[in-house]
Amino acid sequence: MASLSPPTPYTPTCYRSTSTVTRSSLADHSQSPAVSAKRHLLRLISDQDRGLKTQSNPRKLAEIIGAIDSLAAVGRGSVTTDESLSATWRMLWTTEKEQLFIVKNAGVFGTAAGDVLQVIDTAARSLNNVITFPPDGVFFVRSDIQIASPQRVNFQFTSAVLRGKGWEFPLPPFGQGWFESYYMDDEIRVVKDIRQDYLVVERASYSWKE
């Protein structure tokens, strides 16, 4: 059974007064381009329900992709495939339709989707894509990974498992691909994959284990 510690909800920055906005704006001017671009992106995605609302809002999608491009420009030339990539990463926002479909429709099965995770171990060359269904359910896909460049990781799916309390249903592997981490720091990572989908994740406050 997957071992899950209680997740810490992602709390976006909120601006509740004119004075606060003014102070924040002045602070942004004194911050590095990376910090300003990151905060701008996080503000844009903070109310998008992990990307569900963005699906029906082309203007917002264009804004978010523009912010991602700005952050990618800051991260150009950096190494994002070293040991610091190893972590449990929690999804904040994505354009990936399959993940969003599961998140949106989990209620059909009498549950709700919890954290959506990427669990990466560069030393073990492993990647787990995980969707949790608290309190006991989880769907995860195992992959082998190979570092292809300073920002690109290739992956090959090896197996998939749907697990509940006291039961487990294995599924066959179903493909391969790559993703590029355009920007990474000690808080977030911004990704684009082989299907041109975008993903914004944060370092989770816990480690997911099978």
What do you get for the CA distance between the two ends of the chain, in Å?
A: 6
DSSP result, 4-56: -PPPPPP------SHHHHHHHHHHHHHS-HHHHHHHHHHHHHTTSGGGTTGGG
pLDDT score recorded for residue 209? 93
Q: At what angle do helices 58-75 and 33-45 cross, to 10 degrees?
A: 160
Residue 2 corresponds to which tokens in the numbers above? 């997957």
The domain 18-203 is classified under which CATH number: 3.30.43.10, 3.20.20.80, 1.10.645.10, 2.40.128.280? Answer: 2.40.128.280
- Beta strand 167-171 with 137-147 is unpaired
pLDDT score recorded for residue 82? 98
Is 145 exposed, middle or buried, given 0-12, 13-18 or 19+ CB atoms closer than 10 A? buried
pLDDT score recorded for residue 31? 77
Tens-digit pLDDT profile for the chain (210 aa)? 344 444 444 444 433 333 334 444 444 455 799 999 999 999 999 999 999 999 999 999 999 999 999 999 999 999 999 999 999 999 999 999 999 999 999 987 788 999 999 999 999 999 999 999 999 999 999 999 999 999 999 999 999 999 998 999 998 867 899 999 999 999 999 999 999 999 999 999 999 998
Which amino acid, 185? D
Cα–Cα distance measured from residue 149 to residue 138, given in angstroms and rounded to the nearest whole number: 31
pLDDT score recorded for residue 109? 74
3-class secondary structure, 85 = helix
Cα–Cα distance measured from residue 80 to residue 84, given in angstroms and rounded to the nearest whole number: 8
pLDDT score recorded for residue 30? 58
